Structure 1
Amino acid sequence: MNREEVLQILRTHQQELQNLGVKSLELFGSVARNEARSDSDVDLLAELSESMSLFQFIEAKLYIQDLLKCPVDMGTKDALREHLRQPILEDIVYVF
C-alpha cells in the first residue's frame, strides 16, 4: 500500500477515528517515505483523547488495521524511545 492510499483511507474515516478517541494521526516509516513493500506494516503516531482507555486504544488500532487491510504499528510521541525519536520525526506525514 502506498502513502497516498493510506492517507486517503484514513482521512475518509477521520470522523469515525475521532469518535474512537484519536485526536490526530501522523504517518511515518516506509509507507511515509513511499518505500513500503507488500509485507510492510503501517506506522502511525496518534494523539489520543485523555480519557482513552487501553481497550479503546486497541479498538482504534484494530479498526485502522481493518480499514487498511494490513498490520499497523501505532503509538504516541510520548512513548517514543529517545534514540528513535529524531529519525521517526523526520519521516512524519500529517494525516489529520
Structure 2
Amino acid sequence: MTAEHVLAQLEAHAAELRAFGVRRIGVFGSVARGEATDSSDLDLLVDLKRHTFDDYFGALNFLEDLFGCKVDLVQVEALKDRARPTVLQDLIYVEGI
C-alpha cells in the first residue's frame, strides 16, 4: 500500500468521511514513509467535528472496510506530546477534506 493510493482513496470518499464528522485526515507512519509491508497497518490522524462514539467507530469501521486492513485512527486531541513530533514529521494530509 502506498501513500498515493491511500490519499486518492480518502479523497474519493470525502463525502462519506464528512458524514462521520471528519474535518481533516492524513496518513503517517510506515505508509507515509514508503516503508509499508503487506502486514503493515494504516496509521491515520483525524480531526473530528463531533467527538462521539458513533462518529469515531463509524469512521474507523468504514476505513478498515475500505482498505481491508487494520487502521490505527488517532484523533488529533489524543496525540501524545512525545509522539507528536514523529507523527507530524511523516504526516501527509488529504487535500479537499
Q: Which band: TM-score by shorter chain?
A: over 0.9
TM-score by length of 2: 0.91
Task: Tell me the distance in 1 between the aligned counterparts of 2:83 and 2:11.
Answer: 26
Give 1:60 deviation, angstroms.
0.7
Residue of structure 2 in register with 1:77 after alignment: 76
TM-score by length of 1: 0.92
Letter in 1 for 2:2: N
Task: Tell me the distance in 2 between the aligned counterparts of 1:35 and 1:46.
Answer: 21
Letter in 2 for 1:43: D
Per-residue CA deviations over 1:24-69 (Å, capped at 9, x if unaligned) read 101100001111000001101111013x411221011110111111
Task: Tell me the distance in 1 between the aligned counterparts of 2:61 and 2:34.
Answer: 23
Tell me the secondary structure at the aligned position of residue 36 of structure 2.
coil
Gaps of 5+ in 1: none
**Is 1:46 aligned to residue 46 of structure 2?**
yes
CA RMSD of aligned residues (A): 1.0
Q: What is the aligned length?
A: 95
Residue of structure 1 in register with 2:64 after alignment: 65
Letter in 1 for 2:40: S
Deviation beyond 3 Å, 4+ runs, structure 1? none
How do 1:8-19 and structure 2 match up within 5 A? 8-19=8-19
